[in-house]
Amino acid sequence: MRMRENTILRVAAKSLLPFFFLFAFYVQFHGDFGPGGGFQAGVIFAAGVVLYGLIYGVDAAKAVIPKPWVEVGVALGVLIWIATGVATMLEGGRYLEYGKLDVAHPVHGQHLGILFVEFGVLMAVASGMTLIFYLFAERGR
Amino acid sequence: MFAPLADWASSLEALTEHFPVLVVVLPMLAAPLCFLVRHANLARAIGGLAAVACFAMVVQLLGRVLDEGVVSYRLGGWPPPLGIEYRYDLINTFVALIVSAMAAIVIPFGQNPRAFAVPPGRHNVVYAVYALCAAGLLGMTVTGDLFNIYVFLEISSLSAYTLVAIGSERRALMSAFSYLTMGTIGGLFFLIGVGMLYQMTGTLNIVDLSERLADVSSVRTLSVAFAMLFIGLSIKLAVFPLHQWLPNAYTFAPPKVSAFLAATATKVAFYVMLRVIFTIFGRERSFEQMNLDRILLPLSVAAMFMGSIAAIYQLNIKRLLAYSSIAQIGYMTLGISLNSESGLVGGIVHLFNHAVMKGGLFLAVACILFRLGSVKIEDMRGLGRRMPWTMGAVLIFGLGLIGVPGTVGFVSKWYLVVGAIERDLHVVAFLTLVSSLLAVVYVWRLVEVAWFSKASEGSSAQTVREAPLAMLLPVWLLALASLWFGISTDHSAGIARLAAQQLLGTAP
Amino acid sequence: MTSNESSIPGSARKWLRVLFATCAVLVVADFVFDKHPHFGFEKLPLFHAWFGFAAFAFIVAVGALLRFVVARSEDYYERHNGSQRSAMPSEDAEVEPEAREAEDHRRV
Amino acid sequence: MFEAVPPGLFLVLGGVLALFLRGSLRSAVLIALPILGAVQLALLPNGFSMQWQPFEGYLFEVVRVDALSRVFGYVFYLAALISVIFSLHVKDTMQQSAGIAYAGSGVAALFAGDLVTLFVWWELTAVTSVFLILARRTDRATRTALRYLVVQVLSGVLLLAGTLLHYGETGSLAFGALGLGSLGRDLIFVAFGIKAAFPLLNGWLQDAYPEATATGSVWLSSFTTKLAIYALARGYAGTEILIPIGCVMTVFPVFFAVIENDLRRVLAYSLNNQLGFMVVGIGIGTELALNGTAAHAFAHILYKSLLFMAMGAVLYRAGTVKASELGGLYKSMPWTATFCIIGAAAISAFPLFSGFTSKSMILSAAAEGHHDVVFLILLFASAGVLEHSGIKIPYFAFFAHDSGKRPKEAPKNMLVAMGIAAALCIGLGVFYGPLYALLPYRVDYTPYTMAHIVTQLQLLVFAILAFLVLQKLRLYPSERRATILGADWFYRRPLPAIGVRVGIACAFVYLTLVGMAAAITRRVGHVLRKLYQPPGPLGEPWPTGPAALVAAILLVVYLVSVYV
**What is the rounded distance in angstroms from the CA atom of residue B40 to the CA atom of residue B46?**
10
Percent of chain A with pLDDT over 90: 9
* Segment holding D59, helix H or strand E: strand D58-64
CA distances from D306 to B302, D83, D206, D357, D416 (A): 63, 10, 18, 17, 11
Q: What is C46-89 written as a DSSP string?
A: THHHHHHHHHHHHHHHHHHHHHHHHEE-TTHHHHTTTHHHHHS-
Average pLDDT over residues B205-214: 86
**Closest-CA residue of chain D to B299:** D554
Q: B57: buried, middle or exposed (CB in 10 Å: 19+, 13-18, 0-12)?
A: buried
Q: Is the pLDDT of residue C107 over 70?
A: no
Q: Give residue A4's pLDDT band: very low, low, confident or very high (50, 70, 90).
A: low
Q: Give residue D220's pLDDT band: very low, low, confident or very high (50, 70, 90).
A: very high
Q: Per residue, what are the HEC states of D340-377?
A: HHHHHHHHCCCCCCHHHHHHHHHHHHHHHCCCHHHHHH
Q: Is the pLDDT of residue D196 over 60?
A: yes
Q: In this predicted structure, what is the pLDDT of residue A32? A: 67
Q: Per residue, what are the HEC states of D113-170?
A: CEHHHHHHHHHHHHHHHHHHHHCCCCHHHHHHHHHHHHHHHHHHHHHHHHHHHHHHHH
Q: Is the pLDDT of residue D203 over 50?
A: yes
Q: Give residue C30's pLDDT band: very low, low, confident or very high (50, 70, 90).
A: confident
Q: What is B147-215 written as a DSSP string?
A: HHHHHHHHHHHHHHHHHHHTBSSTTHHHHHHHHHHHHHHHHHHHHHHHHHHHHHHS--BHHHHHHHHTT
Q: Give residue C9's pLDDT band: very low, low, confident or very high (50, 70, 90).
A: low
Which residues from D are below 8 Å from B489, CB to CB?
54-55
Whether residue D363 contacts residue D291, with contact meaning beta carbons closer than 8 Å, is answered with: no
CA angle (D530, D531, D532) in 5-degree steps? 100
* B186 part of contact set with chain D, CB < 8 Å: yes
Cis peptide before B241 (omega within 30 of 0): yes
Residue at D401: amino acid letter: H
* D423 part of contact set with chain B, CB < 8 Å: no
Residue at D300: amino acid letter: H
Per-residue pLDDT tens over the stretch B442-451: 888 888 788 7
What is the end-to-end Cα distance of chain B in Å, rounded? 48
Q: Give residue D54's pLDDT band: very low, low, confident or very high (50, 70, 90).
A: low
Q: Do C39 and D375 touch (CB under 8 A)?
A: yes
Q: Is the pLDDT of residue C86 over 50?
A: no
Q: Give residue B173's pLDDT band: very low, low, confident or very high (50, 70, 90).
A: confident
Q: In this predicted structure, what is the pLDDT of residue C3? A: 42
Q: Give residue D345's pLDDT band: very low, low, confident or very high (50, 70, 90).
A: very high
Q: In this predicted structure, what is the pLDDT of residue D110? A: 94
Q: In this predicted structure, what is the pLDDT of residue A140? A: 60
CA angle (B242, B246, B247) in 5-degree steps? 120
**Closest-CA residue of chain D to C64:** D477
Residue D70: CA atoms inside 13 Å, Cβ hemisphere, count?
22
Facing residue for B25 by CB, picked from A76, A82, A97: A82
Q: Give residue B434's pLDDT band: very low, low, confident or very high (50, 70, 90).
A: confident
Q: Which of D327, D288, D306 is nearest to D440 (CA)?
A: D288
Q: Please state the separation of Cα B35 from the chain's center in Å.
A: 25
Say how many residues make up chain A.
141
Q: In this predicted structure, what is the pLDDT of residue C89? A: 36
Whether residue D286 contacts residue D368, with contact meaning beta carbons closer than 8 Å, is answered with: yes
Q: In this predicted structure, what is the pLDDT of residue C106? A: 44
**What is the rounded distance in angstroms from the CA atom of residue D310 to the CA atom of residue D201?**
27
CA angle (D386, D388, D394) in 5-degree steps? 90
**What is the rounded distance in angstroms from the CA atom of residue B117 to the CA atom of residue B436?**
37
* Segment holding C27, helix H or strand E: helix C10-32
- In D, residues 445-484, which contact B (CB 8 Å cutoff)? none
Share the mean pLDDT of chain D: 87
Residue spans of alpha helices (H) in B38-89: 40-68
CA distances from D249 to A90, B63, D75, D221, D269 (A): 84, 61, 23, 17, 9
Percent of chain B with pLDDT over 70: 97
Residue at B45: amino acid letter: A
**Closest-CA residue of chain D to B415:** D55
Q: Do B248 and D529 touch (CB under 8 A)?
A: no
Q: In this predicted structure, what is the pLDDT of residue B5? A: 64
Q: Which of B243, B233, B192 is nearest to D544 (CA)?
A: B243
* DSSP structure class, residue B116: B
Rg (alpha carbons) of chain B, rounded to whole number: 22
Q: Do C105 and D316 touch (CB under 8 A)?
A: yes
Q: Give residue C84's pLDDT band: very low, low, confident or very high (50, 70, 90).
A: very low
Q: In this predicted structure, what is the pLDDT of residue B409? A: 86
Q: Is the pLDDT of residue B140 over 80?
A: yes
Whether residue B107 contacts residue B131, with contact meaning beta carbons closer than 8 Å, is answered with: yes
pTM of the model: 0.64
**What is the rounded distance in angstroms from the CA atom of residue C47 to the CA atom of residue C49?**
5
Whether residue B280 contacts residue B345, with contact meaning beta carbons closer than 8 Å, is answered with: no
Q: Which of D100, D98, D114, D236 is nearest to D163 (CA)?
A: D114
Q: Please state the separation of Cα B50 from the chain's center in Å.
A: 19
CB pairs under 8 A between C and D: 210
**What is the rounded distance in angstroms from the CA atom of residue D204 to the CA atom of residue D486?**
10
**What is the rounded distance in angstroms from the CA atom of residue A42 to the CA atom of residue A119?**
9
Between B176 and D54, residue with greater pLDDT: B176
* Segment holding D50, helix H or strand E: strand D49-55
Q: In this predicted structure, what is the pLDDT of residue C98? A: 43
**What is the rounded distance in angstroms from the CA atom of residue B144 to the CA atom of residue B167?**
34
Residue D405: phi, psi to the nearest 5? -70, 135
**Closest-CA residue of chain A to B16:** A89
Share the mean pLDDT of chain B: 86
Whether residue D195 contacts residue D155, with contact meaning beta carbons closer than 8 Å, is answered with: yes
Q: Which of B394, B399, B380 is nearest to B452 (CA)?
A: B380
Residue at D296: amino acid letter: H
Strands D483-484 and C71-72: antiparallel
Per-residue pLDDT tens over the stretch B479-488: 999 988 888 7
**What is the rounded distance in angstroms from the CA atom of residue A130 to the CA atom of residue A118?**
18
* D541 part of contact set with chain B, CB < 8 Å: yes
CA angle (A103, A108, A110) in 5-degree steps? 90
Could you give the 3-state DSSP secondary structure of residue B72?
Answer: strand
Q: Do B25 and A97 touch (CB under 8 A)?
A: no
Q: In this predicted structure, what is the pLDDT of residue C90? A: 36
Average pLDDT over residues D291-306: 94
Facing residue for D548 by CB, picked from B177, B181, B248: B181
- Please list, in sequence order, all residues whose beta carbon lies within 8 angstroms of the beta carbon of residue A78, skipping any fewer than 6 positions away: A120, A124, B28, B31, B32
**What is the rounded distance in angstroms from the CA atom of residue B101 to the CA atom of residue B53?**
10
* D516 part of contact set with chain C, CB < 8 Å: no
Q: In this predicted structure, what is the pLDDT of residue B1? A: 47
Could you give the 3-state DSSP secondary structure of residue C21?
Answer: helix
Residue D58: phi, psi to the nearest 5? -120, 100
Whether residue B157 contacts residue B251, with contact meaning beta carbons closer than 8 Å, is answered with: no
* Segment holding B92, helix H or strand E: helix B90-106
Q: In this predicted structure, what is the pLDDT of residue A141? A: 55
Average pLDDT over residues D421-436: 92
- Please list, in sequence order, all residues whose beta carbon lies within 8 angstroms of the beta carbon of residue B428, skipping any fewer than 6 positions away: B297, B301, B334, B338, B420
Per-residue pLDDT tens over the stretch D452-475: 888 899 999 999 989 888 888 877
**What is the rounded distance in angstroms from the CA atom of residue B377 to the CA atom of residue B373?**
12
**What is the rounded distance in angstroms from the CA atom of residue B231 to the CA atom of residue B292?**
11
CA distances from D381 to C31, D207, D460 (A): 25, 22, 12
Which residues from A are below 8 Å from B25, CB to CB?
82, 85-86, 95
* D544 part of contact set with chain B, CB < 8 Å: yes
Q: Do D547 and B248 touch (CB under 8 A)?
A: no
Whether residue A1 contacts residue A25, with contact meaning beta carbons closer than 8 Å, is answered with: no
Q: In this predicted structure, what is the pLDDT of residue A118? A: 86
Q: In this predicted structure, what is the pLDDT of residue C88? A: 36
* Segment holding D483, helix H or strand E: strand D483-484
Q: In this predicted structure, what is the pLDDT of residue D171? A: 77
Whether residue B81 contacts residue B206, with contact meaning beta carbons closer than 8 Å, is answered with: no
**What is the rounded distance in angstroms from the CA atom of residue D273 to the CA atom of residue C59?**
14
**Closest-CA residue of chain A to B34:** A75
Q: In this predicted structure, what is the pLDDT of residue D258? A: 85
Residue at B161: amino acid letter: Y
- In B, residues 6-25, which contact A (CB 8 Å cutoff)? 14, 18, 21, 25
**What is the rounded distance in angstroms from the CA atom of residue B83 to the CA atom of residue B147?**
12
Per-residue pLDDT tens over the stretch D113-139: 999 889 889 988 988 898 899 888 888
**What is the rounded distance in angstroms from the CA atom of residue B296 to the CA atom of residue B286?**
11
